[in-house]
């Protein structure tokens, strides 16, 4: 494996070119009786000056594949949320948020636009994989402790506020996608106007 890699390497190819130059010098009579040293020296010089091998960059999944994974994770998140007991105000906020996330993740033109914006994919992924489950889980754990120490700020207030912030972030994301499509439409209109006589 290592030998075959070296045979195909830049260093070996550059060394072979140098060795061939040494053979040309030998056949033209320039190298004289020291031709083996000249050929070996030119091979070594070529191998030394060749650029080093560059490892291939890692192949990360493209945003479309990442969205497929986020979509699958969102399905698991919805199953988890269906089993959690939340107060009505938080349930309403969570329903609005999950409906918006579902619309953003729905396969179709929105996903195509979303896939072109890695930051948007990251924001959506973070909301599905981290922010929403953590907000609900922390609420469930804090609610239990609040029963032991009454008089604290109700954990429902924090949960509702967190869900409002996450919904606002998802709305900004959706608005950004709408603006991207609007700019694209305007650009196409200008292109057609410029093209017409």
pLDDT at 193 over 90: no
- In this prediction, residues 3-29 reach a mean pLDDT of 83
Q: What pTM, to 2 d.p., does this model score?
A: 0.65
Q: For residue 55, tell me if it sits in a domain.
A: no
First-to-last C-alpha distance (Å) of the chain: 63
Q: For residue 41, tell me if it sits in a domain.
A: yes
Cα–Cα distance between 77 and 162 in angstroms, integer?
17
The residue segments making up the domain with residue 116 are 63-195
Number of domains in the chain: 2
Q: Are residues 70 and 124 in the same domain?
A: yes
Q: Are residues 71 and 167 in the same domain?
A: yes
H-run or E-run covering 29 = none
Number of H helices, E strands in the chain: 9, 0
Q: Are residues 35 and 81 in the same domain?
A: no
Q: Are residues 177 and 101 in the same domain?
A: yes
For 65-74, write each residue's pLDDT tens digit: 788 899 999 9
Q: Are residues 67 and 107 in the same domain?
A: yes
- Residues sharing a CB contact under 8 Å with residue 82, sequence separation 6 or more, in sequence order: none
pLDDT at 4 over 90: no
Q: Are residues 144 and 181 in the same domain?
A: yes
Q: For residue 30, tell me if it sits in a domain.
A: yes
H-run or E-run covering 136 = helix 132-148
Q: Are residues 38 and 73 in the same domain?
A: no
- In this prediction, residues 99-115 reach a mean pLDDT of 83
Q: For residue 56, tell me if it sits in a domain.
A: no
Q: Are residues 71 and 10 in the same domain?
A: no
Q: For residue 58, tell me if it sits in a domain.
A: no
């Amino acid at each position: 494996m290592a030998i075959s890699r070296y045979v195909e390497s830049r260093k070996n190819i550059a060394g072979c070119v140098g060795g061939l130059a040494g053979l040309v010098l030998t056949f033209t009579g320039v190298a004289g009786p020291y031709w083996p040293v000249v050929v070996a020296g030119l091979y070594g010089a070529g191998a030394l000056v060749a650029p080093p091998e560059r490892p291939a960059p890692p192949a990360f999944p493209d945003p479309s594949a990442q969205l497929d994974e986020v979509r699958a994770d969102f399905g698991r998140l919805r199953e988890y949320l269906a089993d959690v007991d939340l107060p009505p105000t938080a349930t309403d906020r969570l329903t609005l948020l999950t409906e918006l996330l579902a619309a953003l993740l729905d396969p179709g033109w929105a996903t195509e636009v979303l896939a072109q914006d890695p930051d948007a994919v990251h924001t959506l992924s973070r909301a599905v994989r981290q922010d929403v489950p953590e907000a609900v889980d922390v609420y469930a754990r804090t609610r239990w402790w609040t029963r032991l120490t009454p008089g604290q700020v109700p954990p429902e207030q924090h949960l509702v506020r967190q869900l409002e912030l996450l919904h606002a972030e998802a709305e900004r994301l959706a608005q950004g996608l709408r603006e991207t499509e609007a700019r694209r439409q305007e650009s196409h209109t200008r292109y057609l106007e410029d093209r017409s006589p």
